[in-house]
Amino acid sequence: MIKKILIGLVSVIFVAFIIIYTLTQPKLENDGSYSPSSLALSLGTVAKTDFDEIKFTKYQGNKSKILVIFTEQKNLEMKNGKLFSTGNHPVESLVPMLHLKNAGFDFEIVTPTGKPVVFEMWAFPNEDEDVKAIYNEYKSNFKKPIKLIDFITQSFVNDSSFAAVFVPGGHGAMIGIPEDRNVAKVLHWAHENDLFTITLCHGPAALLSTTLDNQKFLYDGYKMAVFPDAIDEMTPMVGYLPGYMVNSLSERLRSLGANIVNTESDNTVIVDRKLITGASPLASNELGKLATETLLTELN
């Protein structure tokens, strides 16, 4: 009798192990990269966001544009050599844009070389009509963005219509953008011209570009909210990432003098001088509201 019970228990444990193993395996895509597992998607993505539409008094001034620097990169290499299928997180990109658009701001969409914007479409909130609407409205711009160097050449001197630079999150923001001298030029331009810089989650990786060519970190001493390295280190356990990341983010920023205000991947948002940051996808709605309210207060 005891033997039968033990055999049955072992069978149950084995089946449970197989189920858990299957649910936590990242999904292999056609190009050889991996998107998050079924379990990771159920834990880390939503069908509908927490976007709450606010009736802002629309901005009527001259500084009505937001420059949005998107990634054009899809695959982030892990320490084990596997590629994570990434890009810009759609919620982190589009929910803040919704708030800014509702307040009367418009967007200049750029990528480093003018290649199409890449989104983490596995994280797209397919039941959110507001997010789908703004995505479709700017879809042609996402497909044919402006080349960043062309924006620099055409807009730095002659265009005073910009209020802010926005760098959305998503692990794709860590591919190339921290090493892009044109990104550094834009951030310095924003800083020198008293524009706001808005970013969240892994988007603050762009701030690292200001240290290129042995320059002092532009945001030394700034308070900011950033996706915690500790959470990134945990996500391979549930198959969100297909391995451990090569480079950390929050610790690198902290080592340069940033004051990271959050320890969780939560909805923390903060303004320090002209820098507005958020901690994670959960901060997308709060970041959008904070950025919009801050710009309207500053510009009106």
Return per-residue pLDDT of the chain as tens, 300 residues: 565 554 544 444 544 444 454 567 889 999 999 999 999 999 999 999 999 999 999 999 999 999 999 999 999 999 999 999 999 999 999 999 999 999 999 999 999 999 999 999 999 999 999 999 999 999 999 999 999 999 999 888 767 899 999 999 999 999 999 999 999 999 999 999 999 999 999 999 999 999 999 999 999 999 999 999 999 999 999 999 999 999 999 999 999 999 999 999 999 999 999 999 999 999 999 999 999 999 999 998
Catalytic residues: 201
Contact 164, 191 (CB under 8 A): no
* Residue 193 domain flag: yes
What confidence score (pLDDT) does residue 160 get?
85
What confidence score (pLDDT) does residue 296 get?
97
* Residue 98 domain flag: yes
d(CA 20, CA 14): 10
* Residue 25 domain flag: no
What confidence score (pLDDT) does residue 156 get?
81
* Residue 38 domain flag: no
* Residue 16 domain flag: no
* Residue 112 domain flag: yes
Distance of CA 103 to the CA centre of its chain: 22
231, 223, 225: which is closest to 199 by C-alpha? 225
Q: What is the pTM of this model?
A: 0.93
Q: Name residue 147's beta-bridge partners.
A: 111
Contact 181, 149 (CB under 8 A): no
What confidence score (pLDDT) does residue 1 get?
58
Would you say the C-alpha torsion 134, 43, 200, 173 has a positive or negative sign?
negative
Residue type, 102: N
What confidence score (pLDDT) does residue 16 get?
45
What confidence score (pLDDT) does residue 19 get?
47
Q: How many domains does the chain have?
A: 1
* Residue 172 domain flag: yes
* Residue 35 domain flag: no
CATH number of the structural domain spanning residue 84: 3.40.50.880
What phi and psi values does residue 14 have, to the nearest 5 degrees? Answer: -65, -45
| Residue 71: how many other CB atoms lie within 10 Å | 30
**Structural domain range at position 252:** 43-299
